[in-house]
Chain A
Amino acid sequence: MIAIAIAAASLCTQVDSLYYSTTTMKTIGFGDIVPKTYWGRVSGAIFALIAPAVSAIMIVQVAIWKIQAVQQLLKSRAPSSWMVKLFTSSRNELALSLLALYVLLGTLLFHLIERLDYLPAFELMVSIITTVGWGHVYPTTSAGKIVVIILSIAANGITAVVVETVGTQVIDMVAKVHPGGKRVRKAIPDIKAS
């Protein structure tokens, strides 16, 4: 026997609808709000098959844009400037600092808006950025749901920066030991000051 757990949510608002769509699109899936009607569930399943692909393409496109935009920015600076050093030799630190600041900001926001303790607020933020969506902590107020919507969409940009930075390093490592890696590496433009 298959048990289907459907939350007994009473009155859902437009914010709930946008929140459900956003968390589905990001594959977070807290499970606190789910469609109850037959066609709602069918649409939810189809949406979950299609929408995350759009999200994934957006992350890749933001990463490509970021590489080009930073290249152009560095061209406008002297090669010895601090910004060139930051974006070239300290790329990992920059990406990880951005990620840490983002998680910290989200944790504080959930602590203030949802009145969560720091640990659940941190867990909620981690479940958003990693798209794990455990479901034991989720926003209950409309304001909290709006924060989740904004942070989930912004997480695409953060993910793009981190994936581009860390991914390039991994490909660099692979390129040193595998000929296939060298071909892939040649296809990726370097971020260098010229």
Chain B
Amino acid sequence: MDFLFYLRAEDFVILATRATPLVMASLSVILSAYAFVLLSGSLLFMSLEGWNVVWN
């Protein structure tokens, strides 16, 4: 894992932002869809099954 020490801060900016707008937009859409499906599913089962006891 030595290579991590050679990574520069701007490398992460490049990794996060330099893909084409179409790819970035598609990724944003699918990540949002993933979160939406996951959370709406959870809420659905919470309401249908009464899985809503506050956890501790």
A residues lining the B interface (CB < 8 Å): 11-18, 20-22, 24-25, 35-37, 39-40, 43-44, 47, 50-51, 54-55, 57-58, 61-62, 64-65, 68-70, 72-73, 76, 82-83, 86, 101, 142
18 A-B pairs besides A35-B48, A36-B49, A65-B19 with CB distance below 8 A are A11-B53, A17-B51, A21-B42, A24-B41, A35-B49, A40-B49, A43-B45, A50-B37, A54-B33, A58-B31, A69-B16, A70-B15, A73-B15, A73-B18, A76-B14, A83-B3, A86-B3, A142-B56
Q: Are A62 and B45 in contact (CB under 8 A)?
A: no
Could you pull out 30 A-B pairs where Cβ atoms are within 8 angstroms?
A: A12-B51, A13-B53, A17-B49, A25-B37, A25-B38, A25-B41, A39-B48, A43-B44, A43-B48, A47-B41, A50-B37, A54-B30, A54-B33, A57-B33, A58-B34, A61-B23, A62-B27, A64-B26, A64-B27, A65-B19, A65-B24, A68-B18, A68-B20, A69-B18, A72-B18, A72-B19, A73-B11, A73-B18, A101-B1, A142-B56
CA distance A47 to B24 in the complex (A): 27
User: Which of A20, A21, A24 has the most C-beta atoms of chain B within 10 angstroms of its own C-beta?
Assistant: A21
Interface class of chain B by DSSP: helix
Q: Which residues of A contact B11 (CB under 8 A)?
A: 73, 76
Q: Are A17 and B18 in contact (CB under 8 A)?
A: no
Q: Which residues of A contact B31 (CB under 8 A)?
A: 58
Q: Are B23 and A65 in contact (CB under 8 A)?
A: yes
Nearest CB on B from A17, distance (A): 4
Q: Which residues of A contact B34 (CB under 8 A)?
A: 54-55, 58
Q: Which residues of B contact A18 (CB under 8 A)?
A: 38-39, 42
Q: Which residues of B contact A12 (CB under 8 A)?
A: 49-51, 53
Interface size on B, residues (CB 8 A): 37
Q: Are A13 and B55 in contact (CB under 8 A)?
A: yes
CA distance A126 to B54 in the complex (A): 30
Smallest CB-CB A-B distances: 3 pairs: A72-B18, A13-B55, A12-B51
